[in-house]
Every structure is written in structure tokens, then in C-alpha cells.
Amino acid sequence: MKDLAGKVALITGGSRGIGKAIALAYAQCGMAVALTYKDAAAAARETVGQIEAGGARAIAIQVDMRDAAGIRKMADAARAAFGKIDVLVNNAGIGYAKPWQQLSVDDWNETISTNLTSAFLASQEVAPDMVSRGWGRLIMLSSVAAQLGGVIGPHYAASKAGMIGLAHSYATLLAKTGVTSNAIAPALIETDMVTGNPNIKREVIPVGRLGTVDEIADVAVLLASNGYMNGQTINVNGGWYMSS
């Protein structure tokens, strides 16, 4: 989209899956992309290579999203490379499926820290510059689990519900500054997290199939380009959860 050309996106967990699809889609719109990874260095290099082969700019930044100091360095690295951050996609996350009776406080803390606290810290780090420039987009990758509970567990569902609350709060606080904040709530997308989970049954989806990462990326492009969508949770779930 023409109005995204020259913008800069920071995508956490952008080396594969949904994050990679968003990175590629943004690059096709003429955006520069800083994507993060924790351990998947080869996948991150591959994604950067694909973006550069298409004529766009990209860098990969290694970071543990549980580390507040690392998140600050992540944002600094993106700004050092591209001068600014226009769009933040809080996509990094984990989802370890366990019977609820076996969940420990360590499972809870790791999931909340990786999925929710990281989104808060990253947003707090980049939003002030967005406000000062009068333009910005905060996008939270939530989940249908926030609405229906999902199949992974209460630790995961709570972390994703928190991301919706985070999006709504920033949307209210920043509405008059030119910065919008929204969430995307996918369900059963063809990613490693889903295809490797034996509890996933695609027949629960009314349209009869899993979603694709590109279908989520399409929504991320819309949210980056549309300045009138604010405080919304965009459900992309094949009709599993319906809202008015």
C-alpha cells in the first residue's frame, strides 16, 4: 500500500510463522522491517534474505523477550538501523499445552512474561517516539483463546486476554495523538504451535480448515494502513467465535 512506503516496522517473533508472514507483507508495501528472534537464527537470516531479495530493507535482532533490558536494546537497534519505529507488532509468544492440573507457577510466569509483559515493555519503549511524531501503530497478536479459552491452557488464554486489554488501554490513552492500538485474535493458524498440538481438531472451525499465516498478515497490513481503526479486536477464526 502506497501510504506505508517508507514506514518502519518492528515485529517481535518475526522469523517464522505469523510474524514472518507479516514481515514479508510489510516489505511488499515498501516498509523497512526489523524482526526479532530468540533462538531461530537461521530462520531469521532466511526471512531477512527474502525481504532484501524483494528490494526492501530488513534486519534481524536477537532478544529474549522476557528481558526488559534486552527489549530496550531491541528498540534501540531498530532505531539505529532505520531511524524510527512506525509500527510495532507484538507477536512473540509461547504456548505450551499441558493438562491444567499439571500447570505450575513457573509455567504461568514464563507464559505471562513472554506473551504479555513483553508486549507491555515493547509498547512502552516505542510509543513515546510515535506520539512525538504524531503517527504510530501498536498491534497485539492475541488469540481466540482470549475469548473461548482455547485448547492450550489457562496460562495461555490469560496472557492473550491481557493483550486485548493492553490494546484497548493504549487505544484510549493515545487516541488523540495519531497513534492507534488494535489486536488481532486468530484461531488455529497453520503454524508450528498448531500443527504440533495433538489437541487441535480442525473440525471445530466452521469453515472446515485451518487459517493461513497470510490471512493474518492481510489484517496486519490493514491495521497499519488504516488510521480510523482503533481499540478493535479483529477476529480471524473461520467463524469459531462470532461477534457483533
Give the catalytic positions in this structure: 156
C-alpha cell at 75: 528498540
Beta strands of the chain (E only): which ranges?
8-11, 32-37, 58-62, 87-90, 136-141, 179-186, 233-236
Angle between helices 41-53 and 17-28 (to 10 degrees): 20
Other Cβ atoms less than 10 A from the Cβ of 200: the count is 17
- Sheet (strand 136-141) strand order: 58-62, 32-37, 8-11, 87-90, 136-141, 179-186, 233-236
DSSP-derived 3-state class of residue 204? helix
DSSP-derived 3-state class of residue 37? strand
